[in-house]
Amino acid sequence: MDGNWGFGFVVTEKATRMAIEKAKTNGVGAVTVYHQSHIGRLGDYPTMMAAEDMIGMITADSGAAPKHVAPFGGVARKLGTNPICIGMPSNLDGPVLMDMASSTVALGKIALARNRKEDIPLGWIVDKDGNPTTNPNDYFSGGAILPVGVDQAHKGYALSFMVEVFSGLLTGLGFGIDPEGRHNDGVFIAAFNLSHFREVDEFKKDMGEFVEYIKDSPPAAGFTEVLYPGEIEYNKEQERRRDGIFIEDETWGQLSDLMKSLNVEGEVGQP
């Protein structure tokens, strides 16, 4: 699908609904998208598919826009954070959802640490010379994010490589770096209709029992319980719906400046 440089949230939602409709008929539906703006949180789209009793998968990259991640064994930025998300239907309170970057960390967390004037964990980034660092400013001075995996980062790098193939090469978006390149989310979406594989209720029952089996593990030192993928995010969502979302002053200042530049303060309002 050519998104015609539309708003990524809208374009990818439409593509997801196309994949769902294809899977209703054929058991599996897949759609690729290019030429669109940022699609936001990947987890929204597999959640849509899970609501239709389908397993949902999505991968994304940023086209030829500036990159953030060094390949395993290298120091130059060659890859995006290249996220992948898979969601499963279940009868649990929260979604079973793996939503992760193939980099050690998403770029937004580094920017947040810089705004908060906090150090970041060792192993997240290297500076422009390839040296490990805990200073988030080193990333913005020519450093790079590392692939997920720390001393086993070849695994995260391989995952990132494959996400780039699905989201860039398979879509026809391409690869490489254009320093002036426009952010262009290439996306691969796949929906798997459970009813074409087995009884939906049986799958959901097994999913619940599998989660119970996993959570029955005694917690390791420093942990209170074992969580299933997506559970910590679901718990945090409930907490923030109840208590609100904290935004530090510098981040709010950046948002306020953006609202002023777009003349939308009246529509958005103040905190």
Tokens 């759609």 sit on residue: 31
Handedness of CA 228, 16, 52, 200 (dihedral sign): negative
Q: Are 80 and 94 in contact (CB under 8 A)?
A: no
Q: What is the pTM of this model?
A: 0.89
Average pLDDT taken over every residue of the chain:
94
- Identify the pLDDT of residue 64: 80
Q: For 16-31, write each residue's pLDDT tens digit.
A: 999 999 999 999 999 9
**Cα angle 240-50-93, degrees, rounded to a multiple of 5:** 45
Domains of the chain, first to last: 2-103+150-259 (3.30.1370.60), 105-145 (3.30.60.50)
Strands (E) in 48-152, as ranges, are: 54-61, 84-88, 96-100, 125-126, 132-133, 144-145
Pairing of strands 28-36, 2-6: parallel
Q: How far from 253 is each of 229, 257, 267, CA to CA, in Å? A: 33, 6, 17
Cα gap 81→148, rounded to integer Å: 10
Give tens-digit pLDDT for 45-94.
999 999 999 999 999 998 888 899 999 999 999 999 999 999 999 999 99
